[in-house]
């Protein structure tokens, strides 16, 4: 059985050429990818993503993805949602600039002082979001603080998204729902000796790292996942 994959966050920047804010989005994303969180983030190239890049789309389906847009058109956020799924978090540079009272951002080729400041602020916000979606702190999924990433070991491509990660199915309100990495999550919790009832919240939190769960559906997911995990533990006990 493959290892539970090392979590990384994908970052999608709009890089819009028409506005200086697009340049801010690009530079802020690159700052995070290359300097601030290089081992824990992955570049998603938006044009390749939109043109059908399967590797980028599969990654964005499976890993938490953060978008940064220059303006309210939110091309990166909408594009990500269209082809992979709702982003884990989104930033709009214009909103950040207004929030911090920055002056007019200008210079799409060479940013002015306000633009450079916006890059710093946006990069800082991205780092906060990366740390948040990767779940810093004690957690069975990653065993504690964020550690250096290890390569994924996948041999069986079982997920239709092309990520190569096993999937499991549960039934919510009569509908079959595919949960990415569910078999691996159950195996990890079982290896750690976690009982179904005691681990309910942590199970849900781990599932949410790899799958989007609407806030209103969390209770139903929690209950169903706990029942499925209990069945898994019974099966393991029999074997």
Residue 30, H or E segment: helix 20-31
**Residue nearer to another protein on the CB measure, 148 or 197:** 148
**Non-local CB neighbours of 84 within 8 Å, separated by 6+ positions:** 49, 57, 60, 61, 65
Phi-psi region of 122 (alpha: psi -120 to 50; beta: other; left: phi over 0): alpha
Q: Is 59 in the site for another protein (CB under 8 A)?
A: yes
Q: Is 3 in the site for another protein (CB under 8 A)?
A: no
Q: Is 124 in the site for another protein (CB under 8 A)?
A: no
Q: Is 90 in the site for another protein (CB under 8 A)?
A: no
Residue labelled with tokens 């019974």: 234
Q: Of residues 20, 24, 66, 75, which one binds another protein by CB under 8 A?
A: 75
Q: Is 96 in the site for another protein (CB under 8 A)?
A: no
- What is the phi/psi pair of residue 19, to 5°? -125, 150
Q: Is 36 in the site for another protein (CB under 8 A)?
A: no
Q: Is 50 in the site for another protein (CB under 8 A)?
A: yes
Residue 54, H or E segment: helix 54-62
Kindly state the tokens that stand for 119.
């890059």
What does the binding site for another protein look like in residue numbers (CB under 8 A)? Answer: 8, 10, 13-18, 22, 26-27, 29-31, 34, 42-48, 50-53, 55-56, 58-59, 73, 75-76, 78-79, 82, 108-109, 148-155, 157, 162-164
């Amino acid at each position: 059985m493959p290892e539970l994959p090392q979590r990384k966050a994908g970052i999608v920047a709009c890089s819009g050429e028409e506005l200086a804010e697009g340049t801010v989005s690009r530079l802020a994303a690159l700052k995070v990818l290359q300097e601030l969180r290089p081992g824990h983030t992955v570049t998603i190239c938006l044009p390749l993503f939109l043109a059908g890049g399967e590797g980028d789309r599969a990654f964005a389906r499976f890993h938490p993805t953060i978008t940064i847009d220059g303006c309210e058109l939110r091309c990166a956020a909408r594009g990500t949602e269209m082809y992979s799924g709702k982003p884990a978090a989104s930033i709009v540079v214009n909103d950040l600039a207004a929030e911090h009272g920055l002056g007019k951002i200008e210079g799409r080729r060479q940013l002015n002082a306000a633009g450079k400041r916006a890059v710093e602020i946006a990069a800082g916000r991205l780092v906060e979001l990366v740390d948040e979606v990767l779940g810093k702190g004690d957690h069975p999924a990653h065993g504690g603080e964020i550690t250096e990433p290890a390569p994924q070991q996948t041999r069986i491509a079982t997920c239709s998204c092309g990520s190569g990660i096993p999937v499991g199915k549960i039934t919510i309100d009569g509908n079959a729902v595919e949960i990415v990495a569910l078999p691996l999550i159950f195996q990890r919790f079982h290896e750690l000796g976690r009982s179904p009832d005691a681990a309910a919240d942590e199970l849900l939190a781990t599932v949410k790292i790899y799958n989007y769960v609407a806030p209103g559906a969390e209770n139903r997911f929690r209950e169903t996942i706990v029942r499925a995990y209990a069945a898994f533990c019974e099966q393991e006990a029999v074997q």
